[in-house]
Amino acid sequence: MLKTIEGNFENPEVNELLTKHFIELRSASPKGSAHVLDIEGLKVPSIKFWSLWNEKQIIGCGALKILEKEHGEFKSIRLHDEFRKKGNGVKLINHLIEEAKKLKIIRISIETGAGKFFEPARKLFDLCGFKPCKPFAHYKEDINSIYLSKLIDNN
């Protein structure tokens, strides 16, 4: 049985997963092109964060940053290593989309890396229906970044 928990930053498993995510993305992104948020950066009021659990083990996590009234950005999407390549990425994205719908978001955007390290993330977002778009919010054209977006049906 899958369950989700909002917030929960103090949980050691959540903290460990986010710390690993932050360290890996910082090391895989060229200076000036890393847009990963640390835990404190995820605690701002414009961001909602959820962790996905299988019984007592964390599957993954993700956040939704509210950019405008009906536009949000996914941040810090990360699966625990034990749950990769098993369809859990799609489950996590679908959960985040459902949460976005509750907040009346109709457009979700994502910034991810252009390098080889980010290839699995790009494949996941493609599988979930995200399409290339222009830079959004504060982002600028950057050869190290890929920008994706998806309209979601709120009905």
The pLDDT tens digits of the residues spanning 15-53 come to: 999 888 888 877 777 777 778 788 888 999 999 999 999
The residue range of the domain holding 106 is 2-151
Give the residue-averaged pLDDT of 95-117. Answer: 94
Q: What is the pTM of this model?
A: 0.90
| Cα 16 from chain centre | 16
Reported as type and span, the H/E element at residue 33 is none
Check which CATH number belongs to the domain holding 147 and give it. Answer: 3.40.630.30
Q: How many domains does the chain have?
A: 1
Q: Which contacts (CB < 8 Å, 24+ apart) does range 26-34 have? A: 28/113, 28/115, 28/117, 28/118, 29/113, 29/115, 29/144, 30/144, 33/113, 33/142, 33/144, 33/145
Mean local confidence (pLDDT), 49-73? 93
Mean pLDDT of the chain: 90
